[in-house]
C-alpha cells in the first residue's frame, strides 16, 4: 500500500476517487427522494502503460453531463388533476410525459369520453393531441381515491364551492399542489387560505406559479416555474416529479410572495392590454408594466414576501409573460376594453376566464383592509385605476390619462427614504 501511494501523485488520487464520489452523491439523492441528478460518467485513457515515466503518465479525460429527471419513489405514484381547463390539461400533460399515471377530473362524462377515446379535449386546445396515459373522468371518487398527489387548477373564484363539493373523496393527508391564482372576492383570501379553510390543516400544500402558457407547455416549449411550500421537502419532491427536459421547476418557501405575484400580475396585464388597445405605444406600456411591478413589490413587502420572490419567476417573470405574451387571456381582455368593448360583450364571446377581472376588485379591497398609510391610491395608482375602470367609474382612456396627471412626485419609489 505504501509503495502504491508513493507512485501516485495527488492529482491521480483525486481522479481515481471521483467515480466513487459521483456514485455516492447519486445514491444520496435517490435515498431522500428529491429530484436526482442523472450523472453520466465516461473515461477515456490517453495512454495505458502505467510504468512510463511521469512526463508520459496516463491522462484521463472525464466528461460529466447532468439532466434533471424525476427520481424513483419507493412507492407507485399516481397524480390526479382537478380541473379540465387549459392549465389542468397542460399539467396533466407534463405528468403523463414523465410516465406518471394521470387522471384528469372534468365536468362532464362526454368530455371525459372524448379525452379517453380521441385523446384531445373537445373545447380547450382541441388541436393538441394528449398523451395516452391521461385518463379522464367526471367522477370525483374515481379520480381522487387513490391519488398520491392532487393538482388543483380550478379558477380561484370557483375553488371554495368546488372543494367543498368533492373534499369527502380526497384521501386524508394527500398533498395538494395548487396552480390557481388570485384573491377570492368574498373572503379576500389567497388560495392558501381557501385550501386550509376547506380541506383542513392535516395535509401539506404547495403552490405553482411562473410564466407558463398552457399551450406552450403542451407543445414542449421550454418553460420555467416555481413551486412554493412551507414544506420544502414536498416542494422538492413535486419539482422532481414534474421536471423534464422542457419543463424546469424551482422551489421556494415563500408562499405569500408567490401568491401575491400570481394575483397582481393579472391586474397589471389588464392595464397593459388597455394601453395597447388605446394605441399608446411601447414607451407607455413599458413604463406602465415597470411601475406595476413596483406596486407588486410594495404590496409583497407589506405582507412579508421576499423581494427576491417578487423579482423572480412568479413575480416579474410571470408579469412579463402575461403583459406581453400573445396567449395571455388578461392582456386580451384589457386590449378589448381599450378598443371600446364592454365587459359584458367580452365575457359573452369567450369561455376563457380572465382571472384579473375579479382579482382586481378583491385586491383593492384587500389593500384598503390590510394596508395602512396616507393616500393609498398614490401608492397603488395602477391597481386602484384598473379597479375603477372595471367598476365603471371611468373609461380606460380616462384611467390611463389619470396616471399621467397624478400629483407630482419626485421619488420614484415610496420605499426609499433618502
Q: Which residues are catalytic?
A: 265
Q: What's the rounded Cα separation, in Å, for the pair 258 and 124?
A: 26
Max Cα-Cα span within the chain: 89
Full DSSP string of 24-81: HHHHHHHHTTSPEEEEEEEEEES---TTS-GGG---EEEEEEEEEEPPPPSS---EEE
> Three-class SS of residue 102?
strand
Q: Return the residue matching grid coordinates 377581472.
A: 357
Q: What's the rounded Cα separation, in Å, for the pair 297 and 197?
A: 27
Among candidate residues 226, 200, 210, 91, the one with its CA nearest the CA of residue 149:
91
Q: What's the rounded Cα separation, in Å, for the pair 314 and 258?
A: 5
DSSP 331: H
Q: What's the rounded Cα separation, in Å, for the pair 206 and 39?
A: 28
How crowded is residue 215: how many other Cβ atoms within 10 Å of its Cβ?
15
**C-alpha cell recorded at residue 293:** 411591478
Asked whether 243 and 249 are in contact (CB, 8 A), the reply is yes
H or E, element range at 99: none
- Our CA angle for 49, 52, 56, nearest 5°, is 100
Q: Return the residue matching grid coordinates 388541436.
A: 127
Among candidate residues 179, 2, 6, the one with its CA nearest the CA of residue 83:
179
Cα dihedral sign, 379-384-386-392 = negative
Among candidate residues 70, 219, 211, 247, the one with its CA nearest the CA of residue 130:
219
Cα dihedral sign, 253-254-256-258 = negative
Q: How far is CA 52 from the centre of its chain?
A: 57
Alpha-carbon dihedral 380, 181, 255, 268, rounded to 10 degrees:
-30
Amino acid at each position: 500500500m505504501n509503495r502504491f501511494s508513493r507512485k501516485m501523485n495527488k492529482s491521480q488520487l483525486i481522479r481515481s476517487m471521483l467515480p466513487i464520489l459521483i456514485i455516492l452523491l447519486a445514491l444520496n439523492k435517490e435515498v431522500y427522494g428529491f429530484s436526482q441528478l442523472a450523472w453520466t460518467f465516461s473515461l477515456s485513457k490517453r495512454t495505458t502503460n502505467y510504468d512510463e515515466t511521469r512526463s508520459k503518465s496516463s491522462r484521463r479525460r472525464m466528461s460529466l453531463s447532468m439532466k434533471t429527471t424525476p427520481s424513483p419513489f419507493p412507492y407507485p405514484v399516481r397524480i390526479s388533476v382537478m380541473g379540465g381547463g387549459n392549465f389542468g390539461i397542460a399539467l396533466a400533460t407534463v405528468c403523463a410525459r414523465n410516465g406518471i399515471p394521470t387522471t384528469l377530473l372534468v365536468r362532464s362524462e362526454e368530455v371525459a369520453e372524448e379525452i379517453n377515446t380521441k385523446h384531445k379535449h373537445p373545447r380547450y386546445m382541441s388541436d393538441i393531441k394528449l398523451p395516452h396515459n391521461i385518463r379522464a373522468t367526471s367522477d370525483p371518487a374515481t379520480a381522487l381515491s387513490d391519488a398520491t398527489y392532487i393538482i388543483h387548477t380550478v379558477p380561484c373564484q370557483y375553488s371554495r364551492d368546488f372543494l367543498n363539493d368533492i373534499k369527502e373523496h380526497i384521501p386524508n393527508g394527500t398533498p395538494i399542489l395548487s396552480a390557481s391564482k388570485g384573491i377570492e372576492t368574498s373572503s379576500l383570501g389567497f388560495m392558501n387560505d381557501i385550501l386550509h379553510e376547506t380541506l383542513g390543516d392535516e395535509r401539506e400544500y404547495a403552490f405553482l406559479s411562473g410564466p407558463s402558457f398552457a399551450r406552450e407547455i403542451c407543445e414542449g416549449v421550454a418553460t420555467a416555474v416555481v413551486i412554493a411550500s412551507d414544506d420544502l421537502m414536498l416542494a422538492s419532491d413535486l419539482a422532481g416529479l414534474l421536471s423534464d427536459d422542457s419543463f424546469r421547476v424551482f422551489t421556494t418557501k415563500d408562499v405569500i410572495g408567490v401568491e401575491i405575484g400570481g394575483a397582481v400580475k393579472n391586474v397589471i396585464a389588464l392595464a397593459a392590454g388597455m394601453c395597447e388597445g388605446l394605441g399608446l405605444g411601447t414607451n407607455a406600456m413599458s413604463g406602465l408594466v415597470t411601475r406595476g411591478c413596483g406596486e407588486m413589490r410594495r404590496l409583497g413587502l407589506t405582507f412579508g414576501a421576499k423581494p427576491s420572490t417578487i423579482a423572480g419567476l412568479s413575480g416579474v417573470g410571470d408579469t412579463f409573460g402575461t403583459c406581453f405574451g400573445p396567449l395571455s387571456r388578461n392582456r386580451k381582455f384589457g386590449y378589448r376594453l381599450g378598443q371600446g368593448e364592454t365587459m359584458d360583450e367580452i365575457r359573452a364571446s369567450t369561455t376563457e376566464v380572465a382571472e384579473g377581472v375579479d382579482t382586481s376588485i378583491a385586491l383593492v379591497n384587500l389593500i384598503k383592509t390590510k394596508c395602512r398609510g396616507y393616500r393609498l391610491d398614490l401608492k397603488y395608482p395602477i391597481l386602484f385605476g384598473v379597479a375603477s375602470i372595471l367598476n365603471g367609474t371611468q373609461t380606460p382612456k380616462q384611467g390611463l390619462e389619470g396616471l399621467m396627471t397624478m400629483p407630482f412626485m419626485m421619488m420614484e419609489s415610496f420605499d426609499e427614504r433618502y
